[in-house]
Amino acid sequence: MRKDVINNIKNVRVSAKAMLITLEIILVIIVLMVIGYFSFNWAFASLVHTRDDVVVPDIMKKDAKAALDILESENLAIKKIGEEYDPNMPHGHIIRQLPPAGTTVREGKIIRVWFSQGSEEVYMPSLLALELRDARFSLRKNHLELGDITNAYSLTYDKGIVISQDPAPDTILHKNATVNLIVAEGTPPDTILIMPEFRQKNLSEATRWASEQELDLIIKEDKGSMFPSGTIISQNPSPDSQIKPGYSVKITVSKRRKKKDEKYHRVHYELSQGRKESQVRVMLVDSFGEQELFSEVKQPGTKVDFTIPYTADGTIRIFVNGILVQEKDLK
């Protein structure tokens, strides 16, 4: 019994000693951690506080190179965050910066910037042959503004129909740009002379009209034209222009000679029935580029029908009010 008691006492002493050693080890680890923590903070603080304070310069409205030069002179860095549309700021210039100018920062600070993409761009739709209210709707739909409206007499368009637009269709514009229109006033009185549409018609029609109106007709021949000989391919003044007495009318007429190896393609399109006129354009696209073959306002239910010669592959495209409605390859 006494021997057991002595053994228990010895075991307790051994356990207490082991516990004491463990506590001493833990204490040493904690002390080392505390020393390491404060040493790191001291070293980091020393490193940071070796950088001087600087005031962020104003780099608004600067391009990338100018902004970089300014920031580098102050030991600051730059980082592009994004781009935004801004109609009042040229493309590639800074419209926002963070931190803002005047802020005090440490050297090496990264200045975040946003660049302008300029004004958002849109395509100018074709408004020709549209009623004025439809033209207004098309402009709003394409984020464009209606500018000046001028009325003019027309032999081709009914009253209230758009006969001209500025800028021209398919022009690339800035968003919210202004578009000016000329709208048909209706048929002119007898005292006002309006230039008819003679393009794609025979020379005899223009000659007869000029004689009736007692106007000089200046004729220029184009031997390189692809239209049959005697076809009018251009005119000055343009259709629906007002002509004053004594004015000279200039036209260009095809004087093309038929080639042995050429083929012929018939361009044919019939407009659907409806209440409105339509602007019809026929384009030829080939290895030489894009060429307008026909451009005229046509009444509902009427036809576009003519023949063109060709010697190489190409594509005929027909547009009605600016919309592609037919495309055929020349073979």
**285: how many CB neighbours lie within 10 A of its CB?**
15
Three-state SS at 5: helix
Nearest to 277 by CA among 326, 320, 327, 322: 320
Full DSSP string of 114-157: EEE--SPEEEPPP-TT-BHHHHHHHHHHTT-EEEEEEEEE-SSS
The model's pLDDT over 136-182, given as tens digits with 9 standing for 90+, comes to: 999 999 999 999 999 999 988 889 999 899 998 888 888 889 999 99
Note the CATH number of domain 122-186. Answer: 3.30.10.20
- The domain limits of the chain are 1-50, 54-116, 122-186, 192-257, 261-331
Q: Which residues of the chain have pLDDT under 50?
A: 5, 12
Same fold, 192-257 and 261-331: no
- DSSP run (H or E) holding 330: strand 323-330
Query: Quick one: fold of 192-257?
Result: Trypsin Inhibitor V; Chain A (3.30.10)
pLDDT of 183 reads 95
Three-state SS at 209: helix
pLDDT of 81 reads 92
Query: Quick one: fold of 54-116?
Result: Trypsin Inhibitor V; Chain A (3.30.10)
d(CA 156, CA 239): 8
Give the side-chain half-sphere CA count within 13 A for 248: 4
The backbone torsions φ and ψ at residue 140, rounded to the nearest 5 degrees and listed phi first, read: -60, -40
> For strand 145-153 and strand 178-186, is the pairing parallel, antiparallel, or unpaired?
parallel
pLDDT of 288 reads 77
**133: how many CB neighbours lie within 10 A of its CB?**
9
pLDDT of 109 reads 92
pLDDT of 17 reads 65
d(CA 270, CA 282): 13
Q: Does domain 261-331 have CATH number 2.60.40.2560?
A: yes
Q: What percent of the chain has pLDDT over 70?
A: 87
3-state helix, strand, coil in the chain (%, to 5): 25, 40, 35
The model's pLDDT over 185-226, given as tens digits with 9 standing for 90+, comes to: 988 998 899 999 898 889 999 999 999 998 999 999 998 787
